[in-house]
A and B are shown apart, each in its own frame.
Chain A
Amino acid sequence: MGTQTLSKDPFNIIITGVGGQGNVLASRVLANMLVHRGYDVTIGETFGASQRGGSVMSHIRVSARGAWSPQIPKGKADMVVSLEPVEAIRVMKDYGNEEVRILVNDRPIYPVGVIAGELNYPARDEIEGALKDLSKHVWFIDATEEAIRLGNPILGNVIMIGAACGLGILPVGRAEFAEVMKGSLAADKLEINLTAFDLGAAKLAATA
């Protein structure tokens, strides 16, 4: 599913979500896949607040030309993988543009302000409308639901990585995913992760 080379250098990916969603791990996996293919990757992440319900974002810069800033310049994201719906909207303010590919996990995590009734969480079609107004390429994926069906909600992140690869614009795919996961997982866990990856990839391959 992967391309031969980078369609842009540096290619800028944002993985965004909420503390506790496994954002940092997801960005490591994707980054290591790219390192595996020989690319220079710089990841910038803020995880001081990562366990405590704040917005958490990783910036992945992929290049054949060395290290870049761990913060993507304004308006220069090429792909956004959002593990939570409104987080996708939030990153567009600083990094968005009309061509950015946006992949959204469809499962909301409500901010405490929303839980407390002080703030409003927009309805699903409002979120979709907002994102489509900001980019030509938006996909919603029921990753957490699928992951619960597979037996563990955390697999939602793997489904999202699979979906990102399924888009067919990254120079990596299943082989690199398997290679990276092999290094960090027990054999019995590998299979379910591959299933999740394939599931995500298939969702995008069908629509892209």
Chain B
Amino acid sequence: MVIIEANKISKVFNGATAVDKVEFKVDKGEIFGFLGPNGAGKTTTINILCTLLKPTQGVAILNGFDVVKEPDRVRASIGIVFQDPSLDERLTAWENLNFHALIYNISKELRKERIQQVLEMIELWPRRNDIVRTFSGGMKRRLEIGRGLLHFPKVLFLDEPTLGLDPQTRNYIWDYIHQLKRREKITIFMTTHYMEEAENCDRIAIIDHGKIIALDTPAKLKNLVGGDVITLTTNDNKAAAKEISGRYGLEVQTETGHLVFEIANGEKFLPEFIGRMQEPVTSISVRRPTLEDVFLKLTGRKIREESGSAMEGMRAKMRAMRRR
């Protein structure tokens, strides 16, 4: 069953196209990811789906409701964790959740029970009466996720849920997200620019410059890369590259002192390959392709080469400060 349907939605800001005829369907119960570099249009797409922005063109249906024509119905169907912090840091964890429960019209009988249930799930029950300002970045993020869930939404939006968190905390957050999918059986729509995190999704749309350039399961996306990725160094990379492309008819890329190419069944290929090379191999490795390789293949760029303008850099810094 389809729960989100975006039909060629576009958003133009003062003549600049941020989202360009984006089209996709999300099935009920799946974790659907939007993967793309900074400024690709991920947040803008979420803002359209959650009724905060009107699309310049196109139609989006969420839980059977049109996001432009029936915004209140859509709002009641969704929970959202914004990219930037949105807690009231002067309230306690419990007060933040109680505020949310009230504006989402959760009945009095259910309210207390549900708040406790959520606080226990995000492991903040013992800290419920502490002011949010005293929380760590990871705790705040967990509280925001808990808050997004509180009113039993059909769809939970997570906009860069792990941005600015350290790797350990990021892993924790992911544990919660998986736990949540099992327990609450909701649909999760998330965005990230961390490749390795996108692997957690059932399906991924890769977005660049406002356009979806690929959409599939992580495994199938990785099949777009022709097999395993071989990285090697030699004394004369130029000559070696020529030799490899000449003998195997492969495309060889040069990356800061390394040669990189793709081949099916990399492990089996390796012994024979090393034996036959005229140019002696000084180091070599085989690895499975990652989504980074997919992005590189599709766009010719690395996703994390942050094109980040000064403004974005500043925003990231402010975010990091607030997260503390």
A binds B: no
